[in-house]
């Protein structure tokens, strides 16, 4: 690895891009089974939020994409990081620094 930064204490860090494994979820084939009751493909997730929250969901998705792409500067991004940032934006942190779980409410 030739692209790294050495810190004053002798440690170092760098950023590398590795290919995703062939069995990664992003490569899963699309579902061809039809759910006629919901009028969509059978693998479409069931909705857990309402459209009343749409502006919050759009904001969360945009936050996740910006976070995973370094504000659009890095388009070779990790799809798992995108999901992690999307969950964080929608649900907040799992727990605070004291170990207490957050209870988030929308007013």
Q: pLDDT for 19-57, tens place per residue?
A: 889 999 889 998 999 999 888 899 888 878 888 888 999
- Please check the confidence at residue 69 and state whether its pLDDT lies above 60: yes
Least confidently predicted of 45-59, 69-83, 91-105: 91-105
Determine the pLDDT at residue 84.
86
Q: pLDDT for 76-86, tens place per residue?
A: 888 888 888 88
- Please check the confidence at residue 16 and state whether its pLDDT lies above 80: no
Residues 6+ apart with CB under 8 A from 68: 77, 78, 79, 81, 82, 85
Determine the pLDDT at residue 75.
82
Instruction: Using CB atoms within 10 Å of the CB of residue 98, give its burial: 0 to 12 exposed, 13 to 18 middle, 19+ buried.
Output: exposed
């Amino acid at each position: 690895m030739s692209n790294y930064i050495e810190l004053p204490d002798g440690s170092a860090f760098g950023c590398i891009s590795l290919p995703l494994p062939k069995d990664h979820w992003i490569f899963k084939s699309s579902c061809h089974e039809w759910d006629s009751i919901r009028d969509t493909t059978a693998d479409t997730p069931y909705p857990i939020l309402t459209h009343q929250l749409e502006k919050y969901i759009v904001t969360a998705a945009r936050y996740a994409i910006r976070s995973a792409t370094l504000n659009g500067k890095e388009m070779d991004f990790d799809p798992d990081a995108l999901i992690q940032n999307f969950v964080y934006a929608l649900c907040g942190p799992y727990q605070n620094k004291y170990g207490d779980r957050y209870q988030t409410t929308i007013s």
